[in-house]
Structure 1
Amino acid sequence: MPPEKPEDILARAQAAVASLKEGYREHLRSDMETLRDAALRLEEAAETGGSSEEPVQELFVTSHNIKGQAGTFGYELITDVSDILCEMLRERPPLTEETLERVRMLVDTLGELVDQDIEGAGGALGQKLLERLRKIAA
């Protein structure tokens, strides 16, 4: 049997990723629900003076997971926005109204991208969005 050509190996790998993509879409939607729920719990903690540790950790871990997985399935813009959220939370900012607003904006943006199934890097508009979100999250 002759060795496989690189283009045949690549075609098989691309087909395998494509077959897994629909399952990942469902997983991404589930992660999005986790982010939304954690963001709500973070707001509740701020209102009641409760502990923010668990919702912040859940936001961080989930955004980190999205950051690590979404690009594999062609969701580069979602990866980049998740990275912004993840890095902001890594700094453990104080739980102020400004922090809550930044978290809310990033989670809402991710929600829109996931709900609309936005693939790729988003072109020039996506890059402007990222630039703006990076400034807001800084």
Structure 2
Amino acid sequence: AEFDLPLLVDKVHDIRGEAGTFGYNLVTEIGRLLCEFIASIDKVGETEKLAIAAHLQAMQTVVVDKVKGDGPEVAKQIIAGLNAIIAKSKA
């Protein structure tokens, strides 16, 4: 199945806005990284799918675990991990 990247970006923008309203700053930050990643790719292969899925999973985990604000140290680890996935996908 082909990814509808413009639709995904629209949905992520919506989620970022809602997340900020409810204090989920980390979801907003993950969403920003995801949007930047999507803007930087021209095709969606397996590596890109994994990177997108990792971002979406991270957003879900933050909400399920109710990590409010900027989150604890784990938040920095999540962001670092996502940045590593992005870097790897561009290698």
Task: Classify the TM-score, shorter chain.
Answer: 0.7 to 0.9
Counterpart of 2:15 (choices 66, 69, 91) is 66
Unaligned segments of structure 1, at least 5 residues = 1-43, 46-51
CA contact (8 A) 2:31 2:59 kept: yes
Q: Pairwise mapping of residues 34-45 of structure 1 onto structure 2 (< 5 A)?
A: 44-45=1-2
CA contact (8 A) 1:76 1:121 kept: yes
The CA RMSD over aligned residues, in Å, is 1.7
Does 1:129 pair with 2:83? no
CA contact (8 A) 2:24 2:63 kept: no
Higher relative contact order (CA 8 A, sep 6+): 2
Please, what TM-score do these two structures have when normalized by structure 2? 0.80
Aligned to 1:109: 58
Equivalenced residues, count:
87
Identity value in percent: 25
The structure carrying a bigger helix percent of its residues is 1
Question: Cα deviation per residue 1:30-55 (whole Å; 9 max; x = unaligned)?
Answer: xxxxxxxxxxxxxx22xxxxxx3xx2
Amino acid of the residue matched to residue 51 of structure 2? R
Unaligned segments of structure 2, at least 5 residues = none
Please, what TM-score do these two structures have when normalized by structure 1? 0.56
Q: Partners of 1:92 and 1:61 in 2: how far apart?
A: 16
User: Structure 1: which 4+ aligned runs deviate by more than 4 Å?
Assistant: none
Q: Answer with 1 or 2: which has the greater Rg.
A: 1
Question: Cα deviation per residue 1:47-87 (whole Å; 9 max; x = unaligned)?
Answer: xxxxx3xx211211111222234223211111111111111
Q: Partners of 1:121 and 1:57 in 2: how far apart?
A: 27
